[in-house]
Structure 1
Amino acid sequence: MSEQITRRTFIKRAAGTVLTAAGLGTGGYFYAREVEPRMLDITRHSIKNAALPSGFDGIKLVQFSDTHIGFQYSMEQLMQLITKINKLAPDLIVFTGDLLDDPRHFTEKTKIISMLSSLKAPMGKFAVYGNHDHGGYGSDLYKQIMEQSGFTLLLNNSANIKLLDGSSIWIAGIDDAMLGKPDLKASMANIPNDSYTILLSHAPDKAEEAAHFPIQMQLSGHSHGGQIQIPFYGPLVTPPFAEKYVEGFYTAGPQNSLTLYVNRGLGTTRLPFRFLSQPELAVFTFISEKTSS
């Protein structure tokens, strides 16, 4: 996909490049290439919403994203991550896209399926496509890996998470915005309007459209938190569909009805650096207002 570079964008990127070169130096270069990319920030958040059924109070969801295996993130790092996730004992696990950096050169399909299969989540594991999952004719490979690993791959559809008391929430997922064909209407077609719904979208900027649907929470990745951030300046470069929402929490919609969380992801792409944008594993604990009130 071609990206139109405006004069303002060009100046911003050029200035950022100069600041980066001046600020990193030898020590900063080593830190940004060898140290920070191997760090892990486990962020913990509480999600409180009136639409959450009381039975889901205390349910734990773990989100990981953007591993980009094969560029800088290794299979060994993935195994360490899986061990950490399992120690967190999540009820739900979601992956928000970009598993492999370049599917054309990935040769360890059987091994990665075995590794991802070891992730434990009694209420389910769910995933969506990222742009790199489609790139290099990788769509079918990604589908095979995720489904054979026990993940439900949501491609413009949804899944119902139901408790024994009959209460439920929904998880919807849309295709990637850059190289796929996202269809929010199709993904929401089977979901009752009064349900608590989580949308998985690799691209965070789709929140602008998602806010027009009865969706309470959107989980995204793609941005890498800018991957390189300059003090008092911000992200050096953000990709298309992650230009407005870069990291952390936001609200969207006319009445701020949708809460968006943008995960910084785990790997890197294009440049093998992270600076002031640590790799992230996000843990969300649901709090029902019906229980807490």
Structure 2
Amino acid sequence: MLLSIVILLGLGTVAADFLFYRRRMADASPRARRLFLIAALTTDLLPVVPMLLLLLPREHATLWMAVAMWVFFVYLLTVLPRLAYYLFRLFGLRRTAFAAAAVVAGGLVWGATYGRTTYDVREVTLRCPRLPRGFDGLRIVQFSDLHVGTLVRRDAELRRLTERINALHPDLVVFSGDLVNLHYTELDSTVMRLLSAIEAPLGVWSNIGNHDTGVYVRDTVACPVAENIERLIARQEAMGWRVPDNETVLLRRGGDTITLTGISFDPALREQRHDRTFDVDLSAAYAGAPSGAFNITLSHLPQLWEPITALGRGDLTLSGHVHAMQMALNLGCVRISPARLLYERWSGLYERDGRYLYINDGIGCVGYPMRLGAWPEITVITLVR
């Protein structure tokens, strides 16, 4: 997906450079034309650098991915303001062109600094008539997509995150997958200590996302996918987190019971992870669970909501994965994001026939270290009868 976007952006930029050169540089001095061509060529080739970095030795994979993300950000910072400048300059609006370029560049810098690290705490109240009386008022805190291997100031950011979550006084905490970026070793002793500070009476429950499986590690002989998942789950359990791996557990409160199901990402779906719909059988994850019980399902992929509800499960499904592609324009009640082009459901709350899906925009970053409009999200969901 990201590769397709990069290719389209690259081709569009080259075409815009050529058009601007033909229309606006024809009367410029030879030196100015030469400088323009050098600058355009250098910046247009920047996306090649991340691709080469990702081919370097496996033992540096997480480091090189972080470097690649920042190189790609520099590419965006050189290209997007330039495209904004071209748009107005081609119509002769020179001052407006400079202003537009400055606004775009400022927005990108803002997104890579303030926007990447400032949490958006969203409060949602859901009316659920099927909810048992003992769970009336249940307060769930959801967060997702940490990608700890590419956090910039990892320890400081995780410390702030855990303090913020605990200050919300949750009854139940849910993490919706993609704890690491590539490899279980990103969950080292320091990360484990910081995240183990998150507390809730009904526990902290975690889901396995596509990045958690290890499918992006090239040397699957040294660390097979199954081993990566097993070790990641073991480290989370050592933190005090619980990871229902394609299984259903019971939660008890006030003499009543509900069920909580975890649907782990299937590595076989690696190439389909951005498809709009899935035709999969998820019944095994609910084996032995009471059919009429109120159910909370954790599914990293929001596209699994339809197979979940088709089984009569998922009174509330909690997902992540999309990040709203880390870019969104918020216009009152309307949100616009590139994610709309790829996903039927991509951010926030959805309801159908009394069943709910909530897609958390996540905390960390993939592809580029920036969030603009799609801020790092902590969701507080209160269930009432």
Q: Report the equivalent of 1:142.
A: 232
Per-residue deviation, 1:95: 0.6
> Are residue 234 (structure 1) and residue 336 (structure 2) matched?
yes
2:134·2:254 contact (CA, 8 Å) conserved in 1? no
Task: Return the match for 1:217 from 299, 316, 319.
Answer: 316
Per-residue deviation, 1:214: 2.1
Task: Return the match for 1:85 from 145, 151, 165.
Answer: 165
Question: 2-side partners of 1:151 and 1:209: how far apart?
Answer: 27
Q: Secondary structure at the match of 1:194?
A: coil
> Are residue 184 (structure 1) and residue 282 (structure 2) matched?
yes
2:2·2:367 contact (CA, 8 Å) conserved in 1? no
Specify the structure having the higher radius of gyration (Cα): 2
Q: How does 1:15-26 map to 2 (within 5 A)?
A: 22=84, 25-26=104-105
1:58·1:285 contact (CA, 8 Å) conserved in 2? yes
Per-residue deviation, 1:234: 2.8
Question: 2-side partners of 1:57 and 1:105: how far apart?
Answer: 39
Question: 1-side partners of 2:109 and 2:167: how far apart?
Answer: 31
Q: How does 1:67-216 map to 2 (within 5 A)?
A: 67-73=146-152, 74-103=154-183, 106=186, 109-135=188-214, 136=217, 137=225, 138-165=228-255, 167-177=256-266, 184-215=282-313, 216=315
Question: 2-side partners of 1:198 and 1:15: how far apart?
Answer: 44
Per-residue deviation, 1:221: 0.3
- Bigger Cα displacement from structure 2, 53-62 vs 71-80: 71-80
Q: Report the equivalent of 1:45.
A: 124
Counterpart amino acid of residue 258 in structure 2 = I
- Bigger Cα displacement from structure 2, 168-177 vs 68-77: 68-77
Taking a change above 3 Å as real, the CA distance of residues 281 and 203 of structure 1, as seen in their structure-2 partners, is same
Task: Return the match for 2:369 from 262, 272, 275.
Answer: 272
Question: 2-side partners of 1:225 and 1:56: how far apart?
Answer: 31
Q: CA RMSD in A?
A: 3.1
Q: Secondary structure at the match of 1:66?
A: coil
Question: 2-side partners of 1:26 and 1:168: how far apart?
Answer: 52
Question: 1-side partners of 2:167 and 2:201: how far apart?
Answer: 14
- Bigger Cα displacement from structure 2, 172-181 vs 153-162: 172-181
Aligned length: 278
Question: 1-side partners of 2:3 and 2:166: how far apart?
Answer: 42
The structure with higher relative contact order (CA 8 Å, sep 6+) is: 1
1:177·1:203 contact (CA, 8 Å) conserved in 2? no
Identity of aligned residues (%): 28
Counterpart amino acid of residue 190 in structure 1 = G
Counterpart amino acid of residue 56 in structure 1 = F
Per-residue deviation, 1:26: 2.2
1:61·1:283 contact (CA, 8 Å) conserved in 2? yes
Q: Report the equivalent of 1:247.
A: 347
| TM-score, normalised with respect to structure 1 | 0.84
1:64·1:266 contact (CA, 8 Å) conserved in 2? yes
Q: Secondary structure at the match of 1:211?
A: helix
Taking a change above 3 Å as real, the CA distance of residues 231 and 65 of structure 1, as seen in their structure-2 partners, is closer
Question: 1-side partners of 2:234 and 2:348: how far apart?
Answer: 30
1:97·1:130 contact (CA, 8 Å) conserved in 2? yes
Taking a change above 3 Å as real, the CA distance of residues 155 and 193 of structure 1, as seen in their structure-2 partners, is same
Q: Secondary structure at the match of 1:209?
A: helix
Counterpart amino acid of residue 218 in structure 1 = T
Q: Report the equivalent of 2:89.
A: none
1:13·1:236 contact (CA, 8 Å) conserved in 2? no
Counterpart amino acid of residue 257 in structure 2 = S
Unaligned runs of 5+ in 2: 14-75, 85-99, 218-224, 271-279
Question: 2-side partners of 1:115 and 1:58: how far apart?
Answer: 28
Counterpart amino acid of residue 262 in structure 1 = I
Taking a change above 3 Å as real, the CA distance of residues 15 and 245 of structure 1, as seen in their structure-2 partners, is farther
2:108·2:372 contact (CA, 8 Å) conserved in 1? no
Q: Report the equivalent of 1:291.
A: none
Question: 1-side partners of 2:268 and 2:212: how far apart?
Answer: 9
- Bigger Cα displacement from structure 2, 63-72 vs 182-191: 182-191
Unaligned runs of 5+ in 1: 289-293
2:183·2:212 contact (CA, 8 Å) conserved in 1? yes
1:43·1:281 contact (CA, 8 Å) conserved in 2? yes
Counterpart amino acid of residue 234 in structure 1 = I
2:177·2:321 contact (CA, 8 Å) conserved in 1? yes
